[in-house]
Amino acid sequence: MFQGSLPAMVTPFNNGEVDVNELKKLVNWHIEQGSRGLVPVGTTGESPTLTHAEHEQVVSEVINEADGRVPVIAGAGSNNTAEAIRFVEHAKNVGASAALVVTPYYNKPTQEGLIAHFTELAKIGLPIIIYNIPGRSVVDMSPETMGELAKLNEIIGVKDATGDLARVCDQRLTCGADFIQLSGEDATAHGFNAQGGVGCISVTANVAPGLCSRMQEATLAGDYSLALKIQDKLMPLHKAIFTEPGLVGAKYAMSQLGLCKDEVRLPLTPLSEPTKQKINSALKHADLI
């Protein structure tokens, strides 16, 4: 169920409020473009600045609009286990296919703490994909710890944003070949799948869902030559979007395509002019404008 290109959806805003109409349009556009699933309210969805009510509203709206056409993996992480429980329970209650749960950030739990945190969440009974992103959470879940958690039926996979392609093989050994490994880094998604991954929870797919989907489908079919040609078209865009915080770059690029405003919430700020120019050049390289 969880493979291929899975956009880590932005949350569109209009004058400071969640723009539900634009959100629904994006759901349908992503599905039409070939995305295999949708991932609302992760970091790219500006979850750190959404209220709890807004977080739950976005998840519900995406699930309702998708209407079973593709799976929805609801962002549901927190550094507070009780808060994460709330988000996972809500995701289950409104019909999410799975929850994406980041390793607890800032408070830097031990590996034992990570096991305890995810074990509590697994009791809710919704499939969980671990989000391992040491660069943001300042804690790295080891392959051995992930292997322990993979013994739980509800812990079904990982979004790996370590950038370490060797991790895919390490985690195949500790978690098993059926453990779902999804890349969390667009620039290395091609190589990630060659090592045993099956997809990407992608920021760039907000901007170029068709290209990202075709690249992923090519790798799943074993045509890495075709996939590399597509990745060559996408690479400048991957890099340009992340010149400044990725979601800001993604929203700006989407605004250039008429998909949504480039509005973000503080402490994020609009892009600098040089970065805008870099993104515009990358959009042209990808034949998107």
Which residues are catalytically annotated?
Answer: 131, 159
Amino acid at 237: L
Tokens of 238: 């991957």
> Residue 267, preceding bond cis, omega within 30 degrees?
yes
SS3 at position 156 = strand
**Gap between the Cα atoms of 16 and 125, Å rounded:** 35
- Dihedral pair phi/psi, residue 102, rounded to 5°: -75, 150
**Gap between the Cα atoms of 197 and 191, Å rounded:** 9
Angle in degrees, CA 110, 111, 115, rounded to 5: 115
Query: Alpha-carbon torsion 46, 50, 55, 59, what sign?
Result: negative
CA distance readout (Å), 170 to 64, 137, 163, 205: 37, 21, 13, 27
Alpha carbon dihedral 92, 94, 96, 97, in 10-degree steps, equals 70
**Gap between the Cα atoms of 21 and 250, Å rounded:** 19
SS3 at position 18 = strand
Terminus-to-terminus CA distance in the chain, angstroms? 32
Number of C-beta neighbours around residue 230 at 10 A = 22
